[in-house]
Structure 1
Amino acid sequence: MRSCFPRVPTACAAALAPIAVVVLALPAATLASARPAGSAPPLVVSAGTVATTLSPGAQAQAVYNRMTAAQRVGQLFMVGGAVTGLGSATTTAISRYHVGNLILTGRTTAGAPPVRYLTGRADTVTTTAATAGVPLFIASDQEGGYVQVLQGPGFSRMPTALTQGSWSDTLLTAYARTWGTQVMRSGVDVDLAPVMDTVAKSFASLNKPIGFYQREYGYTQTVVADKGTTFLKGMRASGLAMTAKHFPGLGRVTGNTDTTAGVTDTVTTRTSTDITPFRAAISAGAHLLMVSSAYYSRIDASHPAVFSSTVIRGMIRRDLGFTGVVISDDLGNAKQVAAWSPGARAVGFISAGGDVVLTGNPYVVPAMVAAVTARAASDGVFRARVQAAVMRVLTVKAQYGLLAPRLPVTGYFGPLTKTALQRWLGISQTGVFDGATIRALQVRIGAPVVGVWGPHSMAALQSYLGLYLDGATTWNTRTVAALQRYLDTQL
């Protein structure tokens, strides 16, 4: 993560007219700003960051207060971008429509270096004008089996959740720690996993979204709760923010909401034991909870869960006491929600109490943002829900270090960068590129460990960062800037 943890093309068809601005103000908190006399000067930081001595809530409030209305609304969206290259529609969603979160879509087998390059470049789009300098939550679906976006050199091939669930807790924890470190070191900081849905063994082959792909950890709520939280805690140890999904469960349906409309669960109730694994995941440290877009006829027959206040404000907030970020299942391309306009999908989710609208389709972002902004301007109740949702998103970002000071990208390999590098390596922070630092960096990037920095080490670093090899024999501006961008995704 960026502070609290050591861590490891298409074009837009047309630009929509600027959306109306509505002030979404919260009472300003009284924030202490004094530094102890004689203390070291703070890092040079980008706009939107705050002192890390503040509590996460205070950090979030300070950032909220300096954001524009449009930037606040943007924090309530997660836009899709291809893991092989984001494309202009995705970067426009961030730069013009202020979207504050990114999900990497598709698959890559090219390995970690290209992902490191992509995430570092994506972070540079979060300018003062775009997101008030607040970094993106960058997410990936890294479950295992058929659902593993990040593959290739630097990423272990992960077995299905059903296989993982057959392992001992000790073995699963060890593997999950390794997988989590690999994901974090690629610049991704949110895993949209684990799947906490329970599918009966006799029904698994008929259950298209989960059982058919062996995405469940077992066939009983007890096993799913145990193995799912074991995976969660192992992955989270690396600093990843984890996401329990798909509340209140997709284990009782036949259709896949991504490809089918009218998917309905006629079994699950508000007090069903299928809720047990989600409660366990929250207790284990899941700070995000994804809501299904299926109907649940015995909970709220009139609305898909993703648009249901009974599900989100009733079950998630009140019954489970969850205070983290509620994120939707895909509202951009899913057939289940195709009957609603993109704007209605976004407004419906936030009205029901949701926080982050996930859309794998970046082209619907302008309509979604415009609809949310317009409703907030005309509806005080909705405006209050937007305010509360933005604060929840910023608070969780603060908990994971994303509101902390950022390393400036200057291309200069000075003491500030050397200290940040040492912090990432987990060694003594002296601000001097000494033999111990060189050896630790050589180990991390897979270079020969000789304690002397030369052309071979530089080539290994450029490869690690996803750069083309330019034959540099020592530090140059291009490589240092890439390293600084990468460290900003890590610290």
Structure 2
Amino acid sequence: MTSRSTARVRARFAAAVPIALAGALAAGCGGGETPDDTASTSAGSGTSTGTTTPSATSPSPSATASATASPSPSGEATDVSACARQTADALTEEQALGQLLMVAFDTAAPRTALDDLIADQHVGNVIYLGGWEGAARVKETSTHLQAQATKSATAGIPLLLAADQEGGEVRQLRGEGFSKVPSAKVQAQMSSNELTAAAKGWAGELKAVGINVNLAPVTDTVPAEIGRANEPIGKFARQYGSTPATVEKASTAFLKGMIEGGVMGTVKHFPGLGRVENNTDFNTTGITDSVATTNDPFLAPFTAGVKAGAGLVMVSSARYPGLDPTETQAMFSKPIITDLLRGRLGFDGVVITDDINAKAVRSIPAARRATTYIEAGGDILLTGDPESVPAMTKALADKARADEGFATLVDASVLRVIALKERMGLVTCG
């Protein structure tokens, strides 16, 4: 592939995502305190190449970052910093596409399991799955992973390292060094101040082991009359409550604590899994919410999470005929991602899939999953199957070469990811 710095790609990128900042671009743009190609990959004190861990998990905007504006009707970012723009422009196409991937690291895999994917496929983000025991092991693994984010692999831009640390039964990080975070239903019994303080403490535990993104809080509302019959959420008490008001109050308190503790939060599973019967991870049927509309009160917790500063919104793989009459699954639906989430709700941040290798979508070839998701307005493809990565990156690259409109969407997605990493302190300029 050719360099993204070619005049044609630069012109297309500029047309897709104009910058509202005046003045010259900042010089010396790149990842914050990242390793170079000769970095040691040995585990150490939780930092890359012996440096202090960058303030990567601090979600406060950096001095060079501008506030984001409302998205355009096409879902493209319309106002980002010069630093984010310059960093994105400097990536090769391979490195740019790698920023759109988050790959699962299973607890049973050897520490070097993802090294080749990061080096060769330029994977820019990782999620811990499978239940990891003990802070020391997670910290050593995070150190090793960040050491792979070299100049040749990711342009020196650190990885988003994520975990599902909701509480209750959904805690990927357990054992010594990690609190027994209660379920969302129990968290909701705390006052907002108490929950924010508790979440800030839990975030500190994540930050200490190199985790900079929590794929939480759950902002799905499960009606009382459905309760545990809702397999993905209610069965495991993952919901904060049975009314949108209860969910909104508790989820935003949790989110606020995560952000104050230096870990970026994620609201999920847009536009809501509280009314479906079956779990999309394991089923292809019983995954339709026939009630949701654009005026659905169950959207309120998501809107509140966006306003409270969530850097990511995870989109489900369920079907919502009241939102998309074609019954296209949410992660592949432009009416749901671009029109509703980005347009109506005004979210200009990073949209991430629920597992794009879930049974609900597995019958669709991995290549088509990847391109259809980007066409719908999404950004990061989260996959529990590392072997699917080459097919997805090739499909994105091939379609971007052949379709200038698609290339524009890819460029916009990459810029949103880089802007998020800048907000978190992973990308700095100057």
- Structure 1 length as normaliser, TM-score? 0.73
1:288–1:325: 8 Å Cα contact kept in structure 2? yes
User: Which of 213, 226, 244 pairs up with 1:203?
Assistant: 226
2:316–2:331: 8 Å Cα contact kept in structure 1? yes
User: Which of 25, 31, 38 pairs up with 2:25?
Assistant: 31
User: Which of 156, 174, 183 pairs up with 2:197?
Assistant: 174
Superposed displacement of residue 271, structure 1: 1.4
State the SS of the aligned residue for 2:317: coil
Shift in CA distance, 210/45, structure 1 to aligned 2, threshold 3 Å: closer
Superposed displacement of residue 32, structure 1: 4.0
Quick one: distance in 1 between partners of 2:345 and 2:127? Answer: 26
User: Which of 352, 363, 384 pairs up with 1:327?
Assistant: 352
Q: Does residue 125 of structure 1 match 2:125? A: no
Q: Does residue 194 of structure 1 match 2:206? A: no
Shift in CA distance, 201/44, structure 1 to aligned 2, threshold 3 Å: closer
Deviations 1:318-374 (A, max 9, x none): 101101100011012x01001200111111110100010110110100000000110
Quick one: distance in 2 between partners of 1:189 and 1:86? Answer: 22
Equivalent residue, structure 1, for 2:185 = 162
After TM superposition, list the pairs within 5 Å mapping 1:3-402 onto structure 2: 20-21=1-2, 23=4, 24-25=9-10, 26-27=13-14, 30-33=24-27, 54-55=64-65, 57-83=81-107, 85=109, 88-109=112-133, 111-262=134-285, 263-302=287-326, 303-332=328-357, 334-402=358-426
Structure 2 regions of 5+ residues with no counterpart? 38-53, 55-61, 67-80
Equivalent residue, structure 2, for 1:8 = none
1:46–1:405: 8 Å Cα contact kept in structure 2? no
Quick one: distance in 2 between partners of 1:165 and 1:295? Answer: 28
Equivalent residue, structure 2, for 1:16 = none
Superposed displacement of residue 84, structure 1: 5.4
Quick one: distance in 2 between partners of 1:367 and 1:310? Answer: 26
Superposed displacement of residue 211, structure 1: 0.2
Superposed displacement of residue 87, structure 1: 5.2
Deviations 1:427-464 (A, max 9, x none): xxxxxxxxxxxxxxxxxxxxxxxxxxxxxxxxxxxxxx
Deviations 1:74-96 (A, max 9, x none): 11111111245555552222110
Opposite residue 135 of structure 1, the aligned amino acid is P
Quick one: distance in 1 between partners of 2:247 and 2:34? Answer: 43
Quick one: distance in 2 between partners of 1:246 and 1:77? Answer: 18
State the SS of the aligned residue for 1:264: coil
Opposite residue 55 of structure 1, the aligned amino acid is A
Equivalent residue, structure 1, for 2:70 = none
1:89–1:362: 8 Å Cα contact kept in structure 2? no
Superposed displacement of residue 132, structure 1: 0.6
Structure 1 regions of 5+ residues with no counterpart? 1-19, 35-42, 407-491
Superposed displacement of residue 54, structure 1: 3.0
RMSD, matched Cα: 2.2
Opposite residue 305 of structure 1, the aligned amino acid is A
Quick one: distance in 2 between partners of 1:210 and 1:32? Answer: 45
- Structure 2 length as normaliser, TM-score? 0.83
Q: Aligned residue pairs: how many?
A: 375
Shift in CA distance, 317/237, structure 1 to aligned 2, threshold 3 Å: same
Superposed displacement of residue 236, structure 1: 1.4
Opposite residue 140 of structure 2, the aligned amino acid is Y
